[in-house]
Structure 1
């Protein structure tokens, strides 16, 4: 016996402007991650040429990357919350305050 569930479409309460804003934020995050990958490739190159310089660069990179990752995590958390609650007016209203 096959059971079928009827699912009702939930209204999305985010405006086109809100969705564009979220898309822009995600694009910014992707750009940051691309720059991080480029920096990592530079570290690999430096390691082959001069170990002392590579260690110094790696230390600096770690400091910057950690801070950057914390900011990215916070941004992704907010974006996920908005998208997951896109049908919940009360939750979305609380974000604007």
Structure 2
């Protein structure tokens, strides 16, 4: 396990020092930029006031997006499993009906 280093990220006009392994630095910086962008969008809408409320709304929006994408991935995985199962059944039927055709 690699040793953590402290990096500073800038989110909604504030700096945050965060311990992070060197190999995760780029991911953390990307996440911080994404969060900063979402929080700025919410703040600029003018409908939410206060950094804490903006942070909660951003967290809810990001979580909603994540769960929605996960749901879509789960549905796609289920569909893919069903397609593979159907193909395997077709292969099994083909092999059962014509086993000699494989050797010719």
Q: Could you state the TM-score of these two structures normalised by the residue count of structure 1?
A: 0.38
Rg larger for: 2
| Structure (1/2) with the larger helix percentage | 1
| Structure (1/2) with the larger strand percentage | 2
Q: Could you state the TM-score of these two structures normalised by the residue count of structure 2?
A: 0.36
